[in-house]
Structure formats: C-alpha cells, structure tokens
Chain A
Amino acid sequence: MVKELAMRKGTTAHPGEKKQCRMRFESQRFDDFVELMKPIKESAVQEVKKHAQVLIHKVQKCSEWTVNDLSELIQDFYRSMKERFEIHPIFEDTSQEDIEELMNFTEKYLLTRLYKVLFTHFSSKYEENDLAIQKWIQRLGWVTAQHLDFYIDETLPEVRDLIDRAITNIIEMDSRRASLDKIDCIVHCSYHILNFIQLCQDRPASADEFLPALVFIVLKANPPRLKSNIEYITKLSAPGRLMSGEGSYYFTNLCCAVAFIEGLTAESLNLSEDEFDRYVSGAALPPGSCVQNAYLCEGLRIMYQNLADLSDLQQRQEKLQAETISLREDIKEFKEIIAKEVNSTKTMYLSQPYKIPPIVKWAQLASVSHEHTLQGETNSMYPADIYLTKATLVDQNTGQQPVDNMNSSTG
C-alpha cells in the first residue's frame, strides 16, 4: 500500500517516468505485451528523453563553453546514445531503420530544446562572418544567370514561382531549430531548383547546372546568418548524417555555393577586373542585369502574378460560360426528350388494345357483358387473339359457343 502510494506520488511528480513505471510493473498483463510489441519505441523515446534531459541541464548551466566544447559534448552524447541503441536490452530487436529514426529523434529533441543556448553561441562566434557574407552578397546583386553560365527562362511564370519557393526555403532554414529540419529546408530548396532547371531544359539536371543555380538562388535570397547556420549543421548533426543520403549531398552543395560566393572573383564570372570592380562598387550595372532583376523585382513580379491570375480567372470564366451554355442546351434537350417520351408513351398506351387478363374467372361474370365488350374491341384485335379468347370463353363457359362473334370477326 505504501509502495503504491509512493509510486503514485512519483508518477504525478515526474510525468516522464510514468511510462517507465508502467512498463516495469504492469508489463505482465497481456494488453501491455501487445502494446510493447507495437511501439518498442515508446520506451526507447522515454529513454532518449531521459538522457537528453541530463545533457540539457548540463549545457544550460554552463555559459562559458565554446562552440567546439559544445560540439564535442553533443557529438559524444550522440555516440554514446548510438552505442546504447545497439547494445542495450531496451533496444533489442530494433531494426537498423529504427535506430536511425531514434538517432533523428535524439538529435531533434536535443537541438530543439537547446536551440536558444546553442545558436547564441554559434551566432556570436560567427557574427562577423555572417555580416561579411551578407554584405558581400548585397554587393553582388547584379550577378545574372548568364554570368554563372546557366540558362534560365525567367519569363515563365512557373520558373519564377519555383525561384520564389527556393528562395523562401533557403531563408526558412534560419528559423528551424534542429539541424535535421534545417537540412530539410535545403533539400526542398534544391528540389525547387532542380525543377526549374528541368523546366528550362528537357533533360534531368546535373550538378553542372545545379551548382550555378544554387549559387544564383543564394545570391538572390541572401539568407540570414548563413555561416552560423552552416557551422551549426556541420558541428551538431548526428554522426553519419553529413556523410550519406540526399540531405548531405545538398548540404555539401550549399557549402560549395557559399565557398564559391566567398571566393568570387572577376575570373569566376568571366569578367575583366575592371568590369567586376565597377559592378561590385555599384558604379555600373552589367548589361542584362536590369532585365533579369526586373523579372525578380517585387512590383513587376506582382504585376506578372496578377496578370497570370487574371488570365487564369478569364479562363475559368470562359469555361464557366461554356459550361453554362452546354448546361442550358442539355436542359433544353432533356425537356424535348421528356416531351417526346411523354407523347410516345401516351400514344402507345392510348392505342394499345384492351386485353382481358387471362386470370379472370369468367364464370363469375355475366357472359353477355363479355360479348358486348369483345364486340366493341374486335376491330383492333388480331383474329388469332380473338380466336384464342373465344376458345377460352368456350372452355370457361362450359361448351357454350358464341358462334355469331366468331363469324363476325373472321368475316
């Protein structure tokens, strides 16, 4: 009883441990086995959280650590967690994919919780680099796709749309916390770039087109705190993340693009020193830059967007109109068809002969009345029908033969 009370007290005090206790004390029950088999993760997740908590407290307490200390500490933590995932009994039967998921979770949990502390360190260490590259990119606003030797058709609304999205994604990177999420932004940005390259040429994009285009996007976007973010991803990503997979490829390309921009010279843009200096200092603008930037400038872009919206509206309006007309015709046609149907049904039913249902019990009706009726209807009846009717009448009326009628119809 005391034990139970203590347990209950414990669970309310530490909701994080609740699951742990339940797993430990009640896992004999059948329900729990089912639960255990399904999410082996739940216990694992708690396990990760618990360990991360220790590290989080440790990091939050110390403010004198350098970026490298922090990076080492966190990388050590990843390593020890990974080892734990591989050898600890809790994680037994965990597949390789699940271990990867757990690593992702570890990283995400840790970095999201510690983001403010960690990123402050990074952004203060790399503040100058951030500002330097930001200013440098500002001065390179005139660089066009032609300078970078790749072809882009900015007049296509889809291409402009994709450029916008790529720019948005790369800027968004700064607002994400875990390096995994930051890399996701880079990957999405890259997809948009590859998409617009494919729109401008009709074969799959290769690195020869991708890297210049990424440089172009970075120049146009001028993402905030670029260097800090890159260092943050490099130093705090879970081991292996930057070594394999798509994310690492695109991240590496971003690093390349940034390195290229930092070391940008007249030669790398195929310009003379003199030209380059004049463009960078803002004394002159290269030919074509106006046109290209015009397509990317806010006012014109809105105008183009509006034009596109208007033409879209017009198309929809026309479609609506056409559909209205066709609907009207359909209604008219339907009306006619119905009228025709009604008419034909009417004539059909009105002209159809009256037939005596075969199940009628003749014996119950006065024979005179039949004969009157039959006489009235004979004109529209086939002789054979009449004959049959008569035959039936003969049977039913016990041998009484209506000879007159027979003669009148056949004759």
Chain B
Amino acid sequence: MAGSRSHSFKVVLLGEGCVGKTSLVLRYVENKFNDKHFSTLQASFLNKKLNIAGKRVSLAIWDTAGQERFHALGPIYYRDSNGAILVYDVTDEDSFQKVKTWVKELRKMLGNDVCLCIAGNKIDLEKDRAVSLEEADSYATSVGAKHFLTSAKLNRGIEELFVDLAKRMIEIAESSDEHRVNSLGRGSNPRRNVVIVDDEPQQQKTGCCGG
C-alpha cells in the first residue's frame, strides 16, 4: 500500500506567552518573520509535510495557550500527541523553569513515547542570555529530550529541530507498533489498537455476497 511509508504526527507547542513560539512555527512553516504577508491567518494549527529518508511525514503542529491561567488545560491539549516542542526564551529564566514543569507533566501523562524537544529561542539576543547552555543541555539530557538553540528572527536551528523531532517520532512509531494501524499512515494510538470484530455485520455480509 502506498500509505505504508507515511506517518502523521501530532506535535504540541508549549511555551510561555512571550517566548516566540508563534514566530518559531511561522518561520518554520512559512519561512517568514514578522512579515505583513503571512499566507495564513493563524498560527494556532498548522500542517507541515516533510520527506525524511523517503518517508512521507505530515506534522500537525498544535499551538497551545501559554498563559498561566490555562495551565491546567494542558493535558487536554497534549493527549495523544507524538511529540512536543517546549520553547523558552534564553533571556528569561522563568520561561525555562516553566519548561521544566511541562516536561514533568508530559512525562507523567504520556510516558516515554512522546518525543521532546526543548528550544531555547531568541539566541539573537545572546548578550542578554540568562539561561546557560550547559544547564539547558544537561537538563535536556536528564529528561531524555533534545536541546536546540533557535532564533526565529535569524532562522537558526529551527529546521534542524523539526527534522530531528520527526526522525525520533518515526523511530518510536516504527518500533512501538508494527501493527497494521501504522501501515495505514495514521498516527499511532495504542489505546485504540485493540481490534474488536463485530460478528454480526460480518455474518450478514458473507450471507449477502454468497447468495
């Protein structure tokens, strides 16, 4: 089947209000920064198709509201997601602490099947850096995430981040379910992999066709 080499993944984008997650994703999908001519009206839900080693990958990028008041709603957003990008602002220590809370939550809710990427955004403001690279790197390693330094303004590190995330998601998808579900090119969903065959309609069918 043609769809056997294609994957579709849900990726949530988490980050506090001003860390630039919208700019990051718009840079990735539209390759524009603070442009007046974005072709999209919105950056809340975006699709991106990639081709990684001959495999077609479709990313559905879900932006989430980063305000503190909506924090409790996180689990509704990241349910069934295959990957998460946690964005912090390298000049803002608080935003990095917020990332840590999310990582804990994600690991608790989704276990190890979710691929995490931590993005230290705004590296164009290097001189005001408040979060050290070593600290962020070692933290990321300790939680099984990958750390990237990005700049939506200068278009640094963003492509690499998404490609790496996609590769890791493919690995997990291919190793965890060699079931048929995967071969359909659907996102993996272990919860619904249980196949219950409804006997009655099956019976009915054979009767009809045979007759």
Contact = CB atoms under 8 A, between A and B. Distances in A.
A181 B67 CA distance: 31
B202 A80 contact: yes
A249 B2 contact: no
A51 B70 contact: no
Given A240-B186, A244-B60, A204 B10 contact: no
B194 to A, nearest CB: 9
Interface string B34-67: 1010101111110000000000000010111111
- Which among B10, B45, B73, B200 has the highest number of chain A CB atoms within 10 Å? B45
Contacts of B195: 79, 83
Given A80-B202, A259-B76, A207 B208 contact: no
A250 B45 contact: yes
A212 B3 CA distance: 38
Contacts of B65: 207-208, 210-212, 256
A296 interface: no
B201 A51 contact: yes
Contacts of A86: 180, 184
Interface residues of A, number: 51
Interface string B73-89: 10011011000000000
B76 A255 contact: yes
Interface stretch (A138-146, A260-268, A373-381, A395-403): A260-268
B60 A245 contact: yes
Task: Give the size category of B's interface with A.
Answer: 35 or more
Interface in A161-210: 191, 194-195, 197-198, 202-208, 210
B41 A198 contact: yes
Interface in B1-42: 1-3, 8, 10, 13, 17, 21-22, 26, 34, 36, 38, 40-42
Interface of A: 20, 47, 50-51, 54-55, 58, 76-77, 79-81, 83-84, 86, 88, 95-96, 149, 191, 194-195, 197-198, 202-208, 210-212, 239-240, 243-246, 249-250, 252-253, 255-256, 259-260, 263, 267-268
Interface of B: 1-3, 8, 10, 13, 17, 21-22, 26, 34, 36, 38, 40-45, 60, 62-67, 69-70, 72-73, 76-77, 79-80, 180, 184-187, 189, 192, 195-198, 200-202, 204-205, 208
